[in-house]
Structure 1
Amino acid sequence: MNKRQEQKERTREHLIQVAFEQFSENGLTSTKTADIAAAAQVSHGTVFSHFPTREVLLETVIEDVGSKIAKRMHELAEKSCGMKEMLEAHLKGIAEYEDFYIRLISEASLLDRVSKNTLIMIQSAISFHLIQVAEQGMKRKQIKQIPLPFLFNTWLGLIHYYLMNKELFAPKESVISVYGAEWIDYFMNLISLEEGGNE
């Protein structure tokens, strides 16, 4: 890769990072490309030379965040970790991008079709790994025989409820840092066949 290509790639990565920050702070649907250009200290045209539309930039940011959350879960699933470790990895992944993730789930119905599909693909990857670990726990008789979609949707519903109501539960703090351990304990007690709910 020559210097010009390296510079172009650095600018692209910088725009993704600044867009992530702007979307997190101001919302996915209300942030304009002009806001991102100003925050990145580049011309408005520079944004469009890397991303043909605002929607493509948003899709790129969603995909980037989602792949980072799913990557750690994938690594753990390959090591045959337990359900508790998988839930911890899921929350840790979200916690790194908490403000953006809250915007994403809160504004999902307002996104274009491609961004919605990107979010669905992210949730599907997370679901796959959680279900994989749950099936292993069921075989070992550590987890109750619960319909797998219900198990995943119960977990997601629990954390999404708190995240979408951040102002109610933890207005000045990370919701995950305040409640994450409690969610995991509650969920493990709900699904576990073992005393104390730890797998």
Structure 2
Amino acid sequence: MKESQREKQKIETRKHILDAALKQLAKDGLTTTRTSDIATEAKVSHGTVFAHFPTREILLDAVIEDFGLRLTKRLHELVGTNASMKDLLKAHIKGIREYENFYTRLISEQRLLPESARNSLIMIQSAISFHLIQIAEREMEECKIRRMPIDLLFNMWVGLIHYYLINGDMFAPNESVLERYGEQLVEHYMNLIKLK
């Protein structure tokens, strides 16, 4: 069955609102951005936003879910089946870098978000964890990296990235933290985990 022109327009409008919301939330914050700000950014009426997303919480959940799908898809594109740990870390940095401002807002405001939004962040982290576990187990078997609990390996990496992002004003005022420090963070982490 073919989609009608009206159905296609609804899908496009919804996508347009999600894109505008991602941009506005990255700029003004997930907890403080108003739906009217998103409508202005999207150049649609405030009612149009609510026609597609009946509540602010539903809109926020949809934006985080859409962001997670984009990041996960990008990670899958960048990480091949025989990727090394270093390849994965570089891909993770590159994927986050494309949405750095939004991701930084998400991790810094996560405790203030509704449970459904926090659960979406957990799903995003799970996708990254999935790849890391596969590669880490293989590289531990091949004696390329130290044997250690996988959860510690993952938490060390994510903690390092999050620390730099949350403190971006200190490390890279008015510029991308990951552009400035991404390679250095990957090298430092690899030096911590690789076998000498």
* Alignment partner of 2:94 out of 82, 92, 95: 92
In structure 2, C-alpha distance between the alignment counterparts of 1:76 and 1:178, rounded to whole Å: 20
2:148 to 146, 149, 154: 146
Aligned-CA RMSD value: 1.1
Unaligned runs of 5+ in 2: none
Contact in 2 for aligned 1:77/1:132 (Cα 8 Å): no
Q: Structure 1-normalised TM-score?
A: 0.94
Deviations 1:154-177 (A, max 9, x none): 000101000000110001110001
Deviation at 1:73, TM superposition (A): 2.8
Pick from 170, 173, 177 the counterpart of residue 171 of structure 1.
173
In structure 1, the partner of 2:112 is 110
Alpha-carbon shift at residue 26 of structure 1 (Å): 0.3
Measured after TM superposition, the shift of residue 60 of structure 1 is 1.1
Q: Hey, what does 2:43 align to over in structure 1?
A: 41
Q: How big is each residue's C-alpha offset from its partner over 1:36-74, in whole Å with a ceiling of 9 and x where there is no partner?
A: 112212111100110111111111111111122222333
The aligned residue for residue 31 of structure 1 is 33
1:75 Cα offset (Å): 4.3
Distance in 1 between the 2:186 and 2:80 partners? 21
Match of 1:13 in 2: 15
Which residue of the partner structure matches residue 132 of structure 1?
Answer: 134
For residue 80 of structure 1, report the CA deviation from its aligned partner: 2.0
- Distance in structure 2 (CA, Å) of the matches to 1:70 and 1:158: 20
Query: Quick one: percent identity of the two aligned structures?
Result: 55
Q: Which residue pairs with 1:83 in the alignment?
A: 85
Secondary structure of the residue aligned to 2:146 is coil
Flag structure 1 segments of 5+ consecutive residues without an equivalent. Answer: 195-199
CA drift at 1:182: 0.4
Q: Secondary structure at the match of 2:30?
A: coil
